[in-house]
Structure 1
Amino acid sequence: MSFLTTNSLYMMERSMDYLWTKQAAILDNISNAETPNYKAKYVSFEENLRQKLESAAGGAKPKAEMRNVLQKTQVQVNEAQEATRLDGNGVNLTEQNLELSRNGYQLQYVMTAINNDFSVLRSAIKGQ
């Protein structure tokens, strides 16, 4: 089944992992917006993946190296170190609500892209 596991499909899968983890972190931040000494969570993935993909593109076998990078790069949840309020809470509720909306649109976009890829495959299988 390796024809179904293209680099673009791996990229979309990793994007869904990232966005889903980001959604959970944002929801944790919003639900703890009034908790004293709570440190806001943020998710890092894009910068790390971009650096690894750029280095893989210059390698001897870029396609295979990129697939390896896509399979092994992990999403990381970190805590912000700064507090934005006197009670030590680090959540900016307005910013988190904006990120929640943006993340929802990004999830919808990636799901549409995945669905389109599989629609093309279904059409090819049916011979239409």
Structure 2
Amino acid sequence: MASKIDNALFFQQQALGLRAYRQQVLAGNIANADTPNYKARDFDFASALQEAVAGRGEGSLPVARTDPAHLAGTGESGPARLMYRTPAQASADGNTVEMDVERAQFSENAVRYEAGVTFINHQLKMLTAAMQAQS
């Protein structure tokens, strides 16, 4: 029974995980708005979701150890490949964060995250009602 519920919610689970990760990336951009030479980053949500659902998400790559004394690492960078944003207007200090763009993206992502949570809550209520009706 649990696997059927997992299958029913898999897509939304992947989407919420990516939305949460994107929120962290966007928050990092906003936090570094005044850092010289900071490059704003983001990822293509649709492509990342498509890869995650297909099971081709960014897996961990082995970290090369050039000396036996080096600690083994996982090389994990996150669930999506981050790319640099191209600013509409370059700043003098090399920072590519545009606060208007970042705020808009942050707000849109937050609204979509909340919509996903609401959708999952509705699905869980429907599944609960169906299970109660069966017993």
TM, length-normalised to structure 1: 0.75
State the alpha-carbon separation in 2 of the partners of residues 72 and 29 from structure 1: 26
Computed over aligned residues only, the root mean square deviation of the Cα atoms, in angstroms, reads: 2.3
* Structure 2 equivalent of residue 125 of structure 1: 131
1:9 corresponding residue in structure 2: 9
User: How many angstroms apart in 2 are the aligned matches of 1:12 and 1:127?
Assistant: 25
Q: Trace 1:1-128 onto structure 2 (pairs within 5 A).
A: 1-6=2-7, 8-50=8-50, 69=54, 71-74=55-58, 75-80=79-84, 82=86, 84-127=90-133
What percent of counterpart residues are identical?
A: 24
Count of residues in Structure 1 that have an aligned counterpart in Structure 2: 111
In structure 2, relative to structure 1, the CA distance for the partners of 1:35 and 1:98 (3 Å cut) is same
The runs of at least 4 consecutive aligned structure 1 residues that moved more than 2 Å come to 47-50, 71-75, 81-84
Larger radius of gyration: 2
Which is further off, 89-98 or 79-88? 79-88
Unaligned residue ranges in structure 2 (runs of 5+): 59-78
* Structure 1 range deviating more: 16-25 or 38-47: 38-47
| C-alpha distance after superposition, 1:69-110 (max 9, x if no partner) | 1x4434324241646211010101000001111011100110
Report Cα offsets for 1:20-59 as digits up to 9, x if no partner: 0110011000010000000101023412544x69xxxxxx
Q: Which amino acid aligns with 2:133?
A: G
Equivalent residues of 1:29, 1:91 under 8 A apart: yes
Q: Gaps spanning 5+ residues in structure 1: where? A: 54-66
Q: TM-score, normalised by structure 2?
A: 0.71
